[in-house]
Amino acid sequence: MKSTTYNSKMIVLALVVATATGIALFPILQKVQAKQATNHVDPGQNHRIEVVFVLDTTSSMSGLIQAAKEKIWSIATSMASAQENPDIKMGLVAFRDRGDAYITRVFDLSDDLDSMYSSLMDFRAQGGGDGPESVNQALYDSIHKVSWSQDSNVYKVVFLVGDAPPHMDYPNDVKYPITLATAARKGIVVNAIQSGQHQYTRPAWQQIASLGHGEYFQVADSGNAVAVSTPFDEKLSTLAAELEDTRLYFGDEEAKVAQKAKLDANARLRKELSKEALARRDTFNATTSGKANLLGDDELVDAITSGRIELQEIDKKNLPASLQAMAPAEQMEVITEQAQRRDQLKQEINKLSESRSNFIKEKVAEEGGAEDSLDEKIYRAVKDQAASIGLTYESDSASY
């Protein structure tokens, strides 16, 4: 009996000790679990990239602005080339200085790159000319006035592009070290691209990159961008136009307004872009990452074939006008034909894009490489930084 009582006391004592130990260790275990959750990337999740270009649009930046207009699509394609096919959103903060036509203009993150690019096309290099610019305000707006994701597994990145240092003498101006501390807390990497070789710009740009946990690099005023015409550009444009013709949209009047705006931007790009720039855009649109830009919202063929919605769930008046008078079986036949045609065109475009890419890489190699180009420097930064969220880039060079 005594032995039984002794054993019971020992069991109770052990339970008390274990409970007390568990309580003491609970905060530590919570921290470990939280850290593991932060560092873990779910292999099944959609990988995402959010990138904002903060672009000096004063007069001295005319060459690099033109390079950005020509190269934004190949930059997007480089980002899309990760094995994980990331979803990509882009935004833009254009800036000048106090006393110019504007200090900043902010275009929020969107996967509708056509509309963002259409806005970029409207920018002309003007103003400036007095040295420092409103870099502080531009960086502040890029961090505080953009709808960044709260997800720590999204690669969030800013590329500051300019040739003049920030005004550090303005009152009521949040200085860049404070803004960059906020960026770090939000998980936003800030890279600094210096256009030209202004000696007073370099130290500030280097410090911005350091505080932003990003990279500093310098490019020529023209951006040293790779620009090569190929025998495949025109055919790519023709196939891409046919691909765009497979789109069918549905929705109410509000949705139709948004769809018209996208189609108007689409038509503008087809009219105004060079054939080389169109080839870059068309290459991107045929990638998995380019799907959102190609289709936009409420695209019927993709919505039905993906199973997101059933045809009978859509009010007839919200269907495309060309389908409204048809019987459901006829509607499905049209949708199926468009889906098959779309897949065929994407295969042709991807094959042609590969030939175009090989052609350009051979030309670049013949000319001694493109290590100093805007394309390569952005690609290397993305390749290194996006690895933290599990994005894998195998190519040794950017897409051109």
pLDDT tens by residue, 69-97 = 778 888 999 999 999 999 999 999 999 99
Q: Which residues contact 231 (CB under 8 A, 6 or more apart)?
A: 359
Q: Kindly report the CA angle at 295 between 398 and 268, in degrees rounded to 5?
A: 80
Task: Tell me the C-alpha to C-alpha distance, in Å, between residue 127 and each of 83, 98, 105, 112, 241.
Answer: 42, 10, 14, 29, 38
Residue 265 has pLDDT above 50, yes or no: yes
Residue 20 has pLDDT above 50, yes or no: no
pLDDT at 55: 94
Residue 24 has pLDDT above 60, yes or no: no
For residue 110, with 0-12 CB atoms within 10 Å meaning exposed, 13-18 middle and 19 or more buried, which class applies? middle
pTM of the model as a whole: 0.84
**Which amino acid belongs to residue 152?**
S
Residue 292 structure tokens: 């959102």
What count of residues does the chain have? 400
Q: Which residues contact 72 (CB under 8 A, 6 or more apart)?
A: 53, 90, 113, 117, 120
For residue 261, with 0-12 CB atoms within 10 Å meaning exposed, 13-18 middle and 19 or more buried, which class applies? middle
Cα-to-chain-centroid distance, residue 108 = 11
Sorted by where each begins, the domain ranges of the chain are 48-224+370-389, 233-365
Residue 305 structure tokens: 């074939």
Q: How far apart are CA 207 and CA 309, in angstroms?
A: 50
Lowest mean pLDDT among 4-18, 187-201, 257-271: 4-18
Residue 304 has pLDDT above 50, yes or no: yes
Residue 219 structure tokens: 């490019």
For residue 368, with 0-12 CB atoms within 10 Å meaning exposed, 13-18 middle and 19 or more buried, which class applies? exposed
CATH H-level, domain 48-224+370-389: superfamily: von Willebrand factor, type A domain (3.40.50.410)
| Whether 298 contacts 250, CB under 8 Å | yes
Strand-by-strand arrangement of the 155-162 sheet: 104-110, 87-95, 48-56, 155-162, 188-195, 216-219
The pLDDT confidence band at residue 44, using thresholds 50, 70 and 90, is very low
pLDDT at 23: 35
Tell me the mean pLDDT in the region 234-246.
94
The 8-class DSSP code of residue 249 comes to: B
**Which amino acid belongs to residue 125?**
A
Q: Kindly report the CA angle at 285 between 284 and 286, in degrees rounded to 5?
A: 90
pLDDT at 201: 94
User: Across the strands, what pairs with 188?
Assistant: 156
**Which amino acid belongs to residue 280?**
R
Residue 111 has pLDDT above 90, yes or no: yes
| Whether 134 contacts 169, CB under 8 Å | no
Q: How many CB atoms lie within 10 A of CB 208?
A: 25
Q: How far apart are CA 232 and CA 255, in angstroms?
A: 36
Residue 15 structure tokens: 């339970």
Per DSSP, the three-state class of 110 is strand
Q: What percent of the chain lies above the pLDDT cut of 90?
A: 67
Q: How far apart are CA 48 and CA 88, in angstroms?
A: 6
For residue 148, with 0-12 CB atoms within 10 Å meaning exposed, 13-18 middle and 19 or more buried, which class applies? buried
| Whether 115 contacts 108, CB under 8 Å | no
